[in-house]
Amino acid sequence: MANEKTNAVDLVKLQEVAIRIREMRDICGFTQAEMAEKTEVSVEEYRRYEAGELDFPFSFIHKCALAFDIGITDLLEGRSAHLSSYTVTRKGEGQETAKEAGISIMSVAPLFRRKIAEPYRVRYEYDPAL
């Protein structure tokens, strides 16, 4: 039962991010075809991401944020970052921005404004077969 509740929460979050992406595309005046090109996916795949039918890979979210000239936190959380001079992230901590099979990506400065780069902590599971 707890797993079903977690999945429902994840689905709601997915839909919220999809709505923010669609709204930002409209605000910026991009077509779905233009955004598909900017995010390097097919138009059909972009349409499905924007409709909330597919979970977003981190690279898609990052490319959307770049195209919209906003922070990733704006897309993921629906709010802007607050700090302007510095931020503290303790070892092993940060805001989880993506988690896929064998990959964990954490933003180590999610609340820092006017960044010239987006610092991430990325962990990949080692597989000697690769």
**Containing structural domain, residue 32:** 1-80
Single pTM value for the model: 0.59
Residues 63 and 108 placed together within one structural domain of the fold? no
Instruction: Tell me what the pLDDT averaged over the chain comes to.
Output: 81
What pLDDT shows up at residue 8?
A: 67
Question: Does residue 37 register a pLDDT over 70?
Answer: yes
Residues 116 and 103 placed together within one structural domain of the fold? yes
What pLDDT shows up at residue 84?
A: 46
Chain position carrying tokens 């690279």: 59
Residues 61 and 10 placed together within one structural domain of the fold? yes
- The DSSP 8-state label assigned to residue 45 in this structure reads H
Question: Does residue 5 register a pLDDT over 60?
Answer: no
Residues 47 and 66 placed together within one structural domain of the fold? yes
H-type alpha helices, the chain: 2-28, 32-39, 43-50, 58-68, 72-77
Q: Which of 101, 3, 18, 95 is nearest to 55 (CA)?
A: 18
- Using alpha carbons, list the distances in angstroms from residue 75 to 11, 91, 98, 125, 128: 15, 25, 13, 27, 35
Residues 61 and 108 placed together within one structural domain of the fold? no
